[in-house]
Amino acid sequence: MEFLSQILTPDDVWGLEAWIDDWFFVIAIALFLIECVRYVIKKKFTKDFFGDSVANFVTLGLFILIVATVGATYAGVFIFTYEQFSLVQLPINGWTILCCIILADLAYYWEHRFLHMNGFGWATHTVHHSSPHFNISVAYRHGPMDWFFPLFFHLPLALIGFHPFVIFLAEIVVQVFQTLLHTETVKKLPRPIEAIFNTPSHHRVHHATNKQYLDKNYAGIFIIWDKMFGTFAEEKEPVNYGIYPKLNSVNPIKVFFSGYVKLCQRLWNAPSWGYRWNLLVKSPTWAWQQENK
Amino acid sequence: MNLFNSILTSIVIVVIFWACAFFQTSIAHAIQHKEVGASLELSKKANAEKVKVHKTALDNAELVNESITKIINFSGIKQRIYLEDTPQLWQRFNSDTKIHKLLKQQPKQIFVTYSALSKDFKQADVAIGYNVIELSKFDSHHTIEMHRLKRLLAKGKYSDSALTDAWKSIDYNKAIDYVLEVHDLSNGTDIESTQLFVAYK
Ligand SMILES: [Zn+2]
């Protein structure tokens, strides 16, 4: 346990984060190729699957372009907040990183739930959900503003004294864990793991359009949050992936901006200002229900 | 759980894990030092000694550069640590290639400040760094206002224990802002001489 108390420099933490970021992508690609082989064997490697996967990586490319332009500002906001307003400055070591990962995971839960609960957040997060498939490449399917909302949910961690680099590392760890869940290859894991951690099974439920699965399992690493806060559903009947209404496109540009196009269309065609307001603050399920009355 | 209770619970969870991170060293040290009840007695004695010494220290302390306001900015690493872990932080500083790459020339001095001292004087924010004029680039920096400093040790070569002993001449009745060590270097690496100062709030 001694190594957890070892004091680290911010540079060490930054290095570790960059290392995970780079190498994990390589691992993810390898896992995706294994999934592809599995689909080929099962004769499920369709044209649509291929097109969808290509679209996923193109949205990732677009997302990386956006992050490259705003990344420094994003980091700057954290560093400024930490240096000017932080309550304390917590020592940088393994224990602090562990605490930060748990809290970043809780922040992730709330951010994720927020994205599902209003039209504004959904416009960007819908991109991730709009694939009718479920594999590692879907984990990399990002919307244009996916970098924006985490800012507000993780900034409080800087205020209470976690070094920005520690926060970024924790965000990456949650992200990496989440990415691994996007697979149909793993059915169910041993019960204790399913009880505590988010698993592929739990996350399939999150991507479902089945009624009993809607707006469930927002967790990052720990499914405990969902169980505590009453947003948990167990995977029982087979999952249909996607969103309401269906996107039916593998055109990357269409996929990437689909959320905002849909939101603008809805706002344009809205019968009243009250309805427009509701489109922004109410859940996308509400909008879907209004349109299908 | 409804939304309100969920948010409330989340806040409680944040407080718990924040406290874990914040008190981690205290928890660890409490466990480590449990058996050494005697250490408490020792520190009590030391405190009594401090009070005795501070009177003479006050007489000896000279005001540095009383008439001139001189400001030195230094930049390097900073960490909240137990004072007994200071050697570890030095090790970190010495192996921090990033800051050493930024040096424009052989550094002449190293500055060390101990600020935000805990009530038991066991913990502090310790910063170690170089004068920013010797650096090509720096992010954050710490400012020393020379006119606020009271000298505890004149320039000289001191052992670690002599440096620690000099802390006894601090006036603990006053609120301490920071304690400053200035190390003069030869060849850019070897500590040739050291001065010790204190700044009160
Ligand atoms: Zn989601």
Contact: B13, A7; criterion CB under 8 Å? no
Digit-coded pLDDT (tens) for A60-79: 999 999 999 999 999 999 99
Q: What whole-number distance in Å separates Cα of residue A94 and Cα of residue A92?
A: 7
Average pLDDT per consecutive 10 residues, chain B (201 residues; last block may be shorter): 93 94 74 51 50 43 44 88 85 81 86 91 91 82 86 86 85 89 86 90 87
- How far apart, in Å, do the first and last CA atoms of chain A sit? 59
> Per-domain residue ranges for chain B?
3-28+69-200
From chain B, the residues in CB contact with A93 under 8 A are 24
**B85, A106: Cβ pair inside 8 Å?**
no
**Tokens 């609120």 belong to residue:** B175
Q: How far apart are CA A278 and CA A119, in angstroms?
A: 8
pLDDT tens by residue, A139-190:
999 999 999 999 999 999 999 989 999 999 999 999 999 999 999 999 999 9
Distance from CA of B105 to the nearest CA of A (A): 22
Residue the block writes with tokens 């969920």: B6
**A83, A228, A281: best to mutate for the B interface, most B CBs within 10 A:** A228
Give the residue on A whose Cα is nearest the Cα of B82.
A91
Find the CB nearest A102 among B9, B17, B85. B17
Q: Give A-chain residues touching B89 at CB under 8 angstroms.
A: 7
Q: Are B113 and B103 in contact (CB under 8 A)?
A: no
Task: Assess A96–B contact: CB distance below 8 Å, yes or no.
Answer: yes
- The amino acid that residue A106 corresponds to is L
Distance from residue A219's CA to the centre of ligand 1 (Å): 9
ipTM of model: 0.89
CA distance B98 to B110: 16
pTM of structure = 0.70
B3-28+69-200 topology per CATH: Multidrug-efflux Transporter 1 Regulator Bmrr; Chain A (3.20.80)
**Does A161 reach chain B within 8 Å, measured CB to CB?**
yes
User: In 3D, which of B137, B76, B136, B75 has the Cα closest to residue B104?
Assistant: B136
User: Domain span at residue A255?
Assistant: 2-291
Which residues in A lie closer than 8 A to residue B96 (C-beta atoms)?
A: 9, 11
* CB of A123 closer than 8 Å to CB of A236: no
Domain count of chain A? Answer: 1
Ligand 1 centre to CA of A59 (Å) is 16
